[in-house]
Structure formats: C-alpha cells, structure tokens
Amino acid sequence: MRKRPLCIVCSILIAVQVFLFVAGIREMVPATESFKEFEGKQVGVSGQIYRKEKSSNGQILYLKDARILHRNHRIKNIKITVYDKTMMKTALGNKISAVGTVRFFDVPRNFGNYDQKFYYEKQGISLSVFSTKVKMLSEETWAVREGLLKFREKCHQIVCGILGKEKGGMISGILLGEKSEMSPKWKEMYQVNGIGHILAISGLHLSFIGNFLYKGLRKMGFSYKISGGAVSVFLILYTVMTGAGVSTLRALMMFLIKIGADITGRVYDLPTSLSVAAAVIICRSPQYFFDAGFLLSFGAVLGIILLKPILEKLFPCEKKWAEGICFSVAIQLFLFPVTLYFFFEVPTYALLLNIFVIPLMPFLLGMALFGVAICFIFQSLGVWILKGSGFFLTLYNRLCELAMEFPHPRIVLGKPKWWQVVVCYLLLLLFILYMQRKEEKVEKRYRKAVIFFSIFLFTVPNNLARGELEITMLDVGQGDGNFLCGPEKVTYLIDGGSSDVKQVGKYRIEPFLKAKGVETVDYVFVSHGDLDHLSGIDEMLARQKTGITIKNLVLPAKKVWDKTLTKLANKAIRFGTKVFVLQKGQQLTEGDMKIQCIFPSDTYEGEVGNASSMVLSLQYGEFDALFTGDVEGEGEKELEEEISGRYDVLKVAHHGSKHSTKEEILDKLRAKIGLISSGRKNSYGHPHKELLDRLEKANISAYGTKENGSVTLKTDGREMEIECYLFSLQKK
C-alpha cells in the first residue's frame, strides 16, 4: 500500500464522504419534510428532460433543474420524475411543463421489502408527478444523447424482431440495457441461480467489448494513442447509450485508466484504478456506498484482488480450468455477506453455473453485437449470427432449469444485521493478512483455512429465536397477512392477500419471509375465499420453485367453501402442497403452543363469505391471541357465544370496518392489544372512526399497518413486547 498513494487518498476520501452522509452533514436531496405538504396535491412542474423510460402505460420523463409550483409555494432546482400517459413526443434536452399529482417514493413497510425511496434518492430524485397534461416549453435537444437513444431503440427492434419477444427481450437487456421487455420469469430464474449479473451491463460486458476492440486495433498496427482513443470514445458512447449504471461506470473508469497507463507507458495497477472509480462515484453520491449494485460490482473485483491469490496458493494448479474455479470461488466467497444482506439467500449451484456461463459470455455477447451491426448492412447474414446468440441464451436457460431440478437449489439464510456483515469482512481480512505471511506447510494452511471458514459460518444470521412466539401482522396494503413463528420454529401464515398491492406474494410476503430466514412455511391458513385474504397465497403456490415452499394449506370447514377456495385447494394439490380442513374444535399443537379453530363448525348454516371466516384461537403459556379473518354479522354473533376467557391480542376483523367487531364481543374478549390491517390510502376509510372509538372505550390499544407498517409482537408466554416497523426504521 505504501507504493499506492493514490489508492490511500481515494480510500480516505470515500471514508470522509460516507461519514458526512451518515452524520447527516451532506444531504443528497432536499429534506422531504420541506415539501411534504405537496403530497397528493395538484401542482405545476417544469424542467429539462435528461432521461426517458418506457412504462407499462406510458413513459417516464426524468427532469433536472425542475420547478414545482403550488399556490404561493414554490420549489426549484430539484430532480423529479413525471409519469406521462399521453406519450407526448419528446427528446432528451427538451424543456417541458406538466400538471399532475405529487407522490413521494415509498419506504419499505415490512422487513426485507424493496426500498423505493432509497433507489431514487441515491440518484438525487426527490419525488414523482403523475401528470394529466404535458406541454412543450423548448425543443432544444441534446443531439448526441438523443441519437444514441434512437439507435438503441432501433437495435432493440431488430433483436426482438428476429429472436422474438422473449429471447429478444433478454438479449436486448444483456447487450443494450433495454429491460422493458425482459422476461420476468427468466430474469428471476437467472437471479435465483446466481447468474443474474449477466443481465446487467457490467464490467464483464465492457471488459470483453473494450479488450476485443483495443487488441484488434493494436494488431492492425494502430498506435496506443489511436487505439486507446478510438475505443475510449466508443465505450463512453456505449455507456451513455446503455444507461450508465454504477457497474458500467466502474468498468469504464477502470478501462480508461488502463488505456491511460498504456499510452503514457506506466504500469496499470488494479487496486488503484478500482479505488479511483469508487471515489468518483461516492463523491458524486455517497448513498451508493449502501447500494447493492455498487457493493456487488466493486466487491467482485476486490475478491479477485484479495482472495484469488490466496486460493491459488492453497490449491496450486497450473491448469486454466483451475484458475477459472479460483476466480469464481474468490468472487462468490467475497460477496457472500453482501449477497445475504440484499437477497437473503445463497444459490447453491452458482459456482458451477458461473464456471460454464462466464466463459461462454464472450460468444453470446460477441455474436449479439456483431449480428446487430451486420443487420444494418446485410440483414440475412445478421439474422443467422443473432440466432447464434439466441442458441447460447437457450443453453443458459436450460442450465438454470437443470439446476432447479437438483435438491436445494438455493439456501435461504435470512438478512444479517449490519454488524454481522462487518464481522464477516473483518474475518476475511484477518484470513487474507494471515495467508500473506511466510510460507507454511500445505497441511497447516488447509487446517487453518477450515478453522477460518467454520468461524465464518457462525456469522450466518438467525432472525427467528427459539423459545419464544413471534407474531407479525404484515403490511400487505388493503388485505390481511399474519406471520407466526412458534417456540419450536414451526412457521405459520394466517391469510395473505391484498386488493390494492399487485403481486403481493412476490413483492411483500416472500421478501419478508426470506429476510427472516424462512424457506418453507409449515402451515398456511386461509380464513375465507376473498382475494384480499388469499391472492398472495395463490401466487406463492405457483412460485414455490423460486419463492417459498408451502407444506400444508389449511382451509375452513368444507361446508363454507366457495368457488375460490375450491380452486385454491386444487391448485395446492397440483403444486405438491397438502390440503386439510380445520373446523371448530380441532387444533394444531407445537410444544406448549396450540392453535385451535373455534369457528365455523361443520354444521354452520349461515351466510358464506366474510361471516363464515375461520377464527383461530392461539394459546402459548399465559398468552392468548384471536385471529378473526373478516368475520361479521351472523358469524360474529355465533362466535360471541363461543368465547370464554380473556385474550391479550385481537386481530380486528374486516380491516377495522364500521360494522365489524361490535361492543358485545369486545366486552367478552377484554383484549389489551388490537391489530388492524388496512391499506395506507384505502378508499373504504378503514379503520373506521366508530370502530376505533369502540376499541378505545374497551381500553384496547390499537396498532394498524396504515400508520405503522408491519407490527411485530414477541412473547415468551408471559411478557409481551411490540415493535412497529416504520417506527424502528426511523430510529435507524
């Protein structure tokens, strides 16, 4: 390091920038509180378009130097996004004005959920406006950037036209960074198997393209300056065209430094170029230090620098394939803590897949690039070359499918705490420093490596404590979903659906479960056939290969089944999940905990639907909780007769509607805590004021997802503690 002063300076600069950001001294976007009053209001905005994207129902225009005007309030010089359904013809550099409704970006409302606010804030974007009207102010255009955008669209059309929407969308994403038509199924399949990195324009892409062109020009007799200059211009334009992601910027800067070293006759130093690239990105936006893409991209190169030589020393072999294995293992091992922190699971066969995938990547990328270029000159030849790239993509798809057929294709370990990640890297650093010392016998090195990795495994997260009951009322929007982990680590899900959150299973329930380290849910209860209680479960049944495994589906008495429950039961059987009925008087037992169905019975003659919701009574030690689904009307009256004894926790029925959970039943329950699941902006007015008044009158403390996000309750059977997710997020 003493011979790398620039590397040291850049490392210090990164540390200072991150400290200033964490300490709150440097803010990337104006504090949201300064214009919180604009949320949901109709405003006028204006600004200059610096980026455009397609959306499912229009286009997204990114504006810089934007101004917002609402009555006598105005904000200027911020970045915003404008959602434009009118699809007005625009170009990069145009100045526009728009009228629309302000929306702030969402924070995660459950542990493990996606942080939309962070994603946009790291780019310096403050808010979004859903426009009703867009008007052109100035047709000034950034000719080069707009030309590159149009060229990308043309290339995308060529690729999709020849290979079809599915394959073409994937190749277009790999080559052009155009992800609008990338298959969600295959994108997820690649990510789950640990080869999702090939779908993003990254160092792998830029290194191949840059080195191929640079070496080609050198072999043709061009000087370092001409070869380096030409390739540098090409790569800069390619980076701009493909969206200039953090991984691409890292690779571009490192390649430019390498070219500079060649031209000036200096020795290229990989650690120095990596630190310079990191410093440039962090100085521009310190938040990237906490970004998955940044950490994975830079971490992969650090793994090659620090761990690859150690592995080659431990397992000396001069074969090319052995070097490839060391290369892949070094990256996988170094990225293990970061991968867990952001994705909560480890792909079991990622190492093997990458050994096949990475060496073939130049062929796929080269044929795709060459094929598109030839299509502009001689289309019939370009078609065959592009189809060759499609062949390699098909091979990747088959490898992913094959990996999913093997036992345990992924291991869900959960999200580690930040200190566990730090401990992991401290252990890695100590291991690296030790292995760089004087030579030892091979046997001793092996033994110490095994000891190190055994200690390393102790940092694996454990987010579910044995010996206590944990209940989490998930924020699923306008719906219901309750996760339970019993004292013996048996897991339960009581309902799981939403009427206002699309794909609630994939985007809210599954990430939470994975972050908790749950790979399999032992019992999933469905109280009744309304979609806002089962839509997520319906998704999860079909997604068990890439999502969460469901062992048992528990349904109410068959007498109250409707078409939806019948369909759900058939689907569960088709996907290998056992189905059984739990009716009044029957129970599940786990150690000292029991979950008993107290309604409905198989003789119930009342209305089917909300009124016939399955009601579950949970008992653990001195702790009791009641889960009521949407029970109301006739069902609530019948339930009232069944209740005996006091409950500590009541999951309030029907999202806190006006006519549910009457005074009579509250008087019998004498609960301390009321849990209410309702959507943040639901149109029903849930929870209703009259219901909240009834709870207050009964001395029941109400906790709702609308205000708190998910609500978690932990108990040892005697004492009870409650944590509201949004509140804990603010404390962090």
Q: How far, in Å, CA of 275 to CA of 366, rounded?
A: 29
Residue with tokens 């009834």: 694
Enumerate the H helices of 193-319 as residue ranges.
203-219, 224-241, 246-264, 270-284, 292-306, 308-314
208-to-202, 204, 366 alpha-carbon distances in Å: 10, 6, 8
Mean pLDDT of all residues in 63-77: 89
At 361, is the pLDDT very low, low, confident or very high (cuts 50, 70, 90)?
Answer: very high
- Return the exposure string of 461-494: e unless at least 16 CB atoms fall within 10 Å of the residue's CB, then b: bebeeeebbbbbbbbbbbbbbbbbbbbebbbbbb
Who's near 18: CB < 8 A, 6+ residues apart?
282, 286, 289
Residue 199 has pLDDT above 80, yes or no: yes
Q: How far, in Å, CA of 369 to CA of 221, rounded?
A: 23
Who's near 82: CB < 8 A, 6+ residues apart?
45, 60, 61, 62, 63, 96, 98, 100, 128, 129, 131, 134
Is the domain spanning 469-731 CATH 3.60.15.10? The answer is yes
Q: Which helix (H) or strand (E) holds 156?
A: helix 143-176
Lowest-pLDDT choice from 198-212, 619-633, 709-723: 198-212
- Whether residue 609 contacts residue 562, with contact meaning beta carbons closer than 8 Å, is answered with yes
User: What is the structure's pLDDT at 576?
Assistant: 96
CB atoms within 10 A of CB 13: 17
Residue 239 has pLDDT above 70, yes or no: yes
Pairing of strands 58-70, 95-103: unpaired
Residue 510 has pLDDT above 70, yes or no: yes
505 or 457, higher pLDDT: 505
Going by C-alpha positions, the residue among 226, 460, 487 that lies closest to residue 346 is 460
pLDDT digits (tens, 9 = 90+) for 704-730: 999 999 999 999 999 999 999 998 755
3-class SS letters over 38-69: HCCCEEEEEEEEEEEEEECCEEEEEEEEEEEE
User: What is the structure's pLDDT at 442?
Assistant: 53
CA dihedral 339, 343, 346, 351 (to 10 degrees): -60
Mean pLDDT of all residues in 255-264: 92
164-to-20, 126, 151, 204 alpha-carbon distances in Å: 49, 37, 19, 25
- Whether residue 455 contacts residue 420, with contact meaning beta carbons closer than 8 Å, is answered with no
Q: Which helix (H) or strand (E) holds 73?
A: strand 73-84
User: What is the structure's pLDDT at 34?
Assistant: 65
Q: What tokens were used for 383?
A: 């078609």
Pairing of strands 520-525, 491-498: parallel
- Whether residue 354 contacts residue 195, with contact meaning beta carbons closer than 8 Å, is answered with yes
Mean pLDDT of all residues in 449-478: 76
At 40, is the pLDDT very low, low, confident or very high (cuts 50, 70, 90)?
Answer: confident
Going by C-alpha positions, the residue among 73, 46, 70, 51 that lies closest to residue 61 is 51
- Return the exposure string of 158-197: e unless at least 16 CB atoms fall within 10 Å of the residue's CB, then b: bbbebbeebbbbbbbbbbbbbbebbbeebbbbbbbbbbbb
- Whether residue 265 contacts residue 230, with contact meaning beta carbons closer than 8 Å, is answered with no
Enumerate the H helices of 320-417 as residue ranges.
320-343, 350-375, 379-405
- Whether residue 585 contacts residue 605, with contact meaning beta carbons closer than 8 Å, is answered with no
Residue 441 has pLDDT above 90, yes or no: no
Lowest-pLDDT choice from 28-42, 139-153, 161-175, 641-655: 28-42
Q: How far, in Å, CA of 122 to CA of 28, rounded?
A: 7
632 or 728, higher pLDDT: 632
Averaged confidence pLDDT in the chain: 91
pLDDT digits (tens, 9 = 90+) for 515-542: 999 999 999 999 999 999 999 999 999 9
pLDDT digits (tens, 9 = 90+) for 547-588: 999 999 999 999 999 999 999 999 999 999 999 999 999 999
- Whether residue 281 contacts residue 249, with contact meaning beta carbons closer than 8 Å, is answered with yes
pLDDT digits (tens, 9 = 90+) for 309-347: 888 877 776 777 777 788 888 898 899 999 999 999 999
At 732, is the pLDDT very low, low, confident or very high (cuts 50, 70, 90)?
Answer: very low
User: What is the structure's pLDDT at 300?
Assistant: 92
CA dihedral 562, 566, 568, 570 (to 10 degrees): -170
Pairing of strands 593-599, 587-590: antiparallel
Enumerate the H helices of 468-577 as residue ranges.
504, 510-515, 531-542, 563-574
What φ, ψ does residue 586 adopt, rounded to 5°?
A: -90, 155
- DSSP letter assigned to residue 464: S
Is the domain spanning 32-141 CATH 2.120.10.30? The answer is no
Residue 15 has pLDDT above 50, yes or no: yes
Mean pLDDT of all residues in 442-460: 60
pTM beyond 0.75: the answer is yes
Q: Is 549 helix (H, G, I), strand (E, B) or coil?
A: strand
CB atoms within 10 A of CB 74: 12
Lowest-pLDDT choice from 164-173, 428-437, 696-705, 709-718: 428-437
User: What is the structure's pLDDT at 72?
Assistant: 79
- Whether residue 172 contacts residue 160, with contact meaning beta carbons closer than 8 Å, is answered with yes
Q: How far, in Å, CA of 497 to CA of 655, rounded?
A: 12
537-to-496, 582, 630 alpha-carbon distances in Å: 6, 18, 17
User: What is the structure's pLDDT at 456?
Assistant: 60
Going by C-alpha positions, the residue among 634, 492, 612, 508 that lies closest to residue 564 is 612
pLDDT digits (tens, 9 = 90+) for 375-429: 999 889 999 999 999 999 999 999 999 999 999 999 999 999 998 898 889 888 8
User: Angle at the Cα of 477 (from 473 to 482), degrees rounded to 5?
Assistant: 20
Q: Is 390 helix (H, G, I), strand (E, B) or coil?
A: helix
Residue with tokens 């255009």: 141
Q: How far apart are the first and last CA of the chain?
A: 35
